[in-house]
Structure 1
Protein backbone atom coordinates (compact mmCIF):
# COMPACT_ATOMS: atom_id res chain seq x y z
CA UNK A 1 0.00 0.00 0.00
CA UNK A 2 1.43 3.41 -1.01
CA UNK A 3 1.58 6.71 0.77
CA UNK A 4 -1.79 8.38 1.35
CA UNK A 5 -2.71 11.59 -0.43
CA UNK A 6 -2.75 14.23 2.30
CA UNK A 7 -2.75 17.38 0.19
CA UNK A 8 -2.12 18.72 -3.29
CA UNK A 9 0.07 21.55 -4.53
CA UNK A 10 -2.12 24.66 -4.69
CA UNK A 11 -0.40 25.65 -7.95
CA UNK A 12 -0.08 22.49 -10.08
CA UNK A 13 -2.53 20.24 -8.16
CA UNK A 14 -0.08 17.33 -7.93
CA UNK A 15 -0.66 15.26 -4.78
CA UNK A 16 2.03 14.78 -2.15
CA UNK A 17 2.48 11.23 -3.52
CA UNK A 18 3.73 12.57 -6.87
CA UNK A 19 6.19 15.22 -5.70
CA UNK A 20 9.49 15.13 -3.86
CA UNK A 21 8.49 17.73 -1.25
CA UNK A 22 5.21 19.47 -0.45
CA UNK A 23 5.48 22.54 1.78
CA UNK A 24 2.41 23.58 3.73
CA UNK A 25 1.33 27.11 4.55
CA UNK A 26 -1.85 28.39 6.15
CA UNK A 27 -4.33 26.40 4.07
CA UNK A 28 -2.17 26.17 0.94
CA UNK A 29 0.66 23.98 -0.29
CA UNK A 30 3.48 24.27 -2.83
CA UNK A 31 5.60 21.49 -4.28
CA UNK A 32 9.32 21.54 -4.97
CA UNK A 33 8.69 21.74 -8.74
CA UNK A 34 6.56 24.86 -8.40
CA UNK A 35 9.09 26.42 -6.01
CA UNK A 36 11.78 25.84 -8.66
CA UNK A 37 9.55 27.40 -11.32
CA UNK A 38 9.00 30.42 -9.03
CA UNK A 39 12.72 30.84 -8.44
CA UNK A 40 13.35 30.77 -12.19
CA UNK A 41 10.58 33.31 -12.82
CA UNK A 42 11.81 35.63 -10.05
CA UNK A 43 15.44 35.41 -11.21
CA UNK A 44 14.42 36.27 -14.79
CA UNK A 45 11.97 39.04 -13.94
CA UNK A 46 12.98 42.58 -14.92
CA UNK A 47 13.27 44.88 -11.90
CA UNK A 48 10.69 47.30 -13.27
CA UNK A 49 8.07 44.70 -14.33
CA UNK A 50 4.58 45.77 -13.23
CA UNK A 51 2.69 43.58 -10.78
CA UNK A 52 -0.76 42.69 -12.07
CA UNK A 53 -3.21 39.97 -11.09
CA UNK A 54 -3.15 36.88 -13.33
CA UNK A 55 -6.76 37.44 -14.48
CA UNK A 56 -5.87 40.99 -15.60
CA UNK A 57 -3.41 39.73 -18.23
CA UNK A 58 -4.50 39.79 -21.87
CA UNK A 59 -5.44 36.10 -22.24
CA UNK A 60 -7.54 34.20 -24.75
CA UNK A 61 -10.86 32.80 -23.53
CA UNK A 62 -9.61 29.19 -23.78
CA UNK A 63 -6.78 29.90 -21.32
CA UNK A 64 -9.12 31.71 -18.92
CA UNK A 65 -11.58 28.80 -19.04
CA UNK A 66 -8.78 26.27 -18.50
CA UNK A 67 -7.82 28.08 -15.28
CA UNK A 68 -11.31 27.87 -13.74
CA UNK A 69 -11.07 24.18 -12.78
CA UNK A 70 -7.70 24.44 -11.01
CA UNK A 71 -8.78 27.63 -9.20
CA UNK A 72 -11.95 25.90 -8.04
CA UNK A 73 -9.97 22.83 -6.90
CA UNK A 74 -7.57 25.05 -4.93
CA UNK A 75 -10.52 26.81 -3.30
CA UNK A 76 -12.06 23.46 -2.34
CA UNK A 77 -8.75 22.35 -0.80
CA UNK A 78 -8.49 25.57 1.20
CA UNK A 79 -12.06 25.13 2.50
CA UNK A 80 -11.31 21.53 3.50
CA UNK A 81 -8.14 22.65 5.28
CA UNK A 82 -10.03 25.40 7.09
CA UNK A 83 -12.62 22.89 8.28
CA UNK A 84 -9.83 20.59 9.50
CA UNK A 85 -8.19 23.46 11.42
CA UNK A 86 -11.52 24.39 12.99
CA UNK A 87 -12.04 20.75 14.00
CA UNK A 88 -8.56 20.75 15.53
CA UNK A 89 -9.36 23.93 17.48
CA UNK A 90 -12.56 22.33 18.76
CA UNK A 91 -10.73 19.12 19.72
CA UNK A 92 -8.29 21.23 21.74
CA UNK A 93 -11.16 22.87 23.62
CA UNK A 94 -11.62 25.99 21.52
CA UNK A 95 -15.01 27.61 21.87
CA UNK A 96 -17.15 28.78 18.98
CA UNK A 97 -16.59 32.33 20.26
CA UNK A 98 -12.81 31.91 20.03
CA UNK A 99 -13.03 30.33 16.59
CA UNK A 100 -15.41 33.02 15.35
CA UNK A 101 -13.11 35.75 16.63
CA UNK A 102 -10.08 34.13 14.93
CA UNK A 103 -12.04 34.01 11.66
CA UNK A 104 -13.44 37.53 11.94
CA UNK A 105 -17.02 36.34 12.30
CA UNK A 106 -19.55 35.83 15.05
CA UNK A 107 -19.73 32.75 17.22
CA UNK A 108 -23.05 31.89 15.58
CA UNK A 109 -21.65 32.24 12.06
CA UNK A 110 -18.69 30.00 12.91
CA UNK A 111 -20.98 27.38 14.42
CA UNK A 112 -23.37 27.47 11.44
CA UNK A 113 -20.54 27.10 8.96
CA UNK A 114 -18.48 24.41 10.69
CA UNK A 115 -20.65 22.51 13.20
Structure 2
Protein backbone atom coordinates (compact mmCIF):
# COMPACT_ATOMS: atom_id res chain seq x y z
CA UNK A 1 0.00 0.00 0.00
CA UNK A 2 1.35 3.41 -0.98
CA UNK A 3 1.81 5.88 1.89
CA UNK A 4 -0.05 9.17 1.71
CA UNK A 5 2.19 12.17 0.98
CA UNK A 6 3.18 14.19 4.03
CA UNK A 7 0.95 17.20 4.54
CA UNK A 8 2.81 20.51 4.39
CA UNK A 9 1.93 22.79 7.27
CA UNK A 10 1.43 26.53 6.70
CA UNK A 11 0.84 29.55 8.87
CA UNK A 12 -2.91 30.21 8.72
CA UNK A 13 -2.26 33.96 8.79
CA UNK A 14 0.60 34.73 6.38
CA UNK A 15 0.44 31.46 4.43
CA UNK A 16 4.17 30.69 4.63
CA UNK A 17 5.02 26.97 4.64
CA UNK A 18 6.66 25.43 7.69
CA UNK A 19 10.01 25.28 5.85
CA UNK A 20 10.11 29.11 5.64
CA UNK A 21 9.22 29.93 9.26
CA UNK A 22 11.00 29.30 12.54
CA UNK A 23 8.24 27.46 14.31
CA UNK A 24 4.50 26.96 14.01
CA UNK A 25 2.15 27.03 16.99
CA UNK A 26 -0.86 24.77 16.45
CA UNK A 27 -4.45 25.43 17.41
CA UNK A 28 -7.73 23.81 16.39
CA UNK A 29 -7.24 23.48 12.60
CA UNK A 30 -4.95 26.55 12.51
CA UNK A 31 -1.24 27.30 12.78
CA UNK A 32 0.58 30.57 13.48
CA UNK A 33 4.25 31.30 12.82
CA UNK A 34 6.78 33.21 14.91
CA UNK A 35 6.52 36.33 12.73
CA UNK A 36 2.72 36.49 12.98
CA UNK A 37 2.90 35.92 16.73
CA UNK A 38 5.22 38.93 16.85
CA UNK A 39 2.66 41.02 14.98
CA UNK A 40 -0.06 39.89 17.39
CA UNK A 41 2.12 40.74 20.39
CA UNK A 42 2.69 44.20 18.94
CA UNK A 43 -1.06 44.72 18.66
CA UNK A 44 -1.60 43.58 22.24
CA UNK A 45 1.18 45.90 23.50
CA UNK A 46 -0.32 48.86 21.67
CA UNK A 47 -3.69 48.66 23.43
CA UNK A 48 -3.89 48.48 27.24
CA UNK A 49 -5.71 45.44 28.67
CA UNK A 50 -8.37 47.65 30.22
CA UNK A 51 -8.86 49.97 27.27
CA UNK A 52 -11.24 52.82 28.09
CA UNK A 53 -10.50 54.77 24.91
CA UNK A 54 -7.70 57.03 23.74
CA UNK A 55 -9.17 60.04 25.54
CA UNK A 56 -8.90 58.23 28.90
CA UNK A 57 -5.13 57.82 28.47
CA UNK A 58 -2.57 60.38 29.62
CA UNK A 59 -0.24 62.01 27.15
CA UNK A 60 2.59 59.80 28.47
CA UNK A 61 0.52 56.65 27.99
CA UNK A 62 -0.42 57.65 24.44
CA UNK A 63 3.18 58.51 23.62
CA UNK A 64 4.25 55.14 25.06
CA UNK A 65 1.74 53.37 22.82
CA UNK A 66 3.08 54.93 19.61
CA UNK A 67 6.16 52.71 19.22
CA UNK A 68 4.27 49.39 19.64
CA UNK A 69 1.58 50.69 17.26
CA UNK A 70 4.19 51.56 14.64
CA UNK A 71 5.82 48.13 15.09
CA UNK A 72 2.44 46.50 14.52
CA UNK A 73 1.92 48.44 11.29
CA UNK A 74 5.44 47.55 10.11
CA UNK A 75 4.93 43.86 10.95
CA UNK A 76 1.58 43.70 9.20
CA UNK A 77 3.03 45.49 6.17
CA UNK A 78 5.87 42.93 6.04
CA UNK A 79 3.42 40.02 6.15
CA UNK A 80 1.34 41.55 3.34
CA UNK A 81 4.45 42.21 1.22
CA UNK A 82 5.57 38.61 1.71
CA UNK A 83 2.17 37.28 0.65
CA UNK A 84 2.17 39.39 -2.52
CA UNK A 85 5.74 38.35 -3.37
CA UNK A 86 4.76 34.68 -2.97
CA UNK A 87 1.75 35.17 -5.25
CA UNK A 88 3.89 36.88 -7.89
CA UNK A 89 6.48 34.06 -7.78
CA UNK A 90 3.58 31.69 -8.44
CA UNK A 91 2.64 33.72 -11.50
CA UNK A 92 -0.54 35.29 -10.07
CA UNK A 93 -1.39 38.47 -12.00
CA UNK A 94 -1.38 41.98 -10.63
CA UNK A 95 -5.03 42.11 -11.71
CA UNK A 96 -5.94 39.20 -9.39
CA UNK A 97 -3.89 40.64 -6.51
CA UNK A 98 -5.44 44.08 -6.92
CA UNK A 99 -8.92 42.58 -7.07
CA UNK A 100 -8.32 40.60 -3.85
CA UNK A 101 -7.18 43.81 -2.14
CA UNK A 102 -10.03 45.90 -3.53
CA UNK A 103 -7.71 48.13 -5.57
CA UNK A 104 -6.76 48.41 -9.23
CA UNK A 105 -4.04 46.35 -10.88
CA UNK A 106 -1.97 49.51 -11.20
CA UNK A 107 -2.40 50.44 -7.52
CA UNK A 108 -1.31 46.94 -6.43
CA UNK A 109 1.73 47.06 -8.72
CA UNK A 110 2.75 50.52 -7.47
CA UNK A 111 2.41 49.49 -3.84
CA UNK A 112 4.15 46.11 -3.93
CA UNK A 113 6.59 46.01 -6.85
Q: TM-score, normalised by structure 1?
A: 0.55
- Describe the superposition over 1:3-48 as per-residue Cα deviations: whole angstroms up to 9, x where unpaired: xxxxxxxxxxxxxx8xxx59638x94346xx7xxxxxx7xxx9xxx
SS at match of 1:24: strand
Structure 1 residue 24 and structure 2 residue 22: aligned?
Answer: no
CA RMSD between the two structures: 3.3
Residues in 1 aligned to 2:74 and 2:106: alpha-carbon distance in whole angstroms? 23
Structure 1 residue 61 and structure 2 residue 71: aligned?
Answer: no
Match of 1:111 in 2: 109
- Unaligned stretches of 5+ residues in structure 2: 1-21
Shift of 1:73: 0.6
SS at match of 1:109: helix
SS at match of 1:94: coil
Shift of 1:110: 0.4
SS at match of 2:74: helix
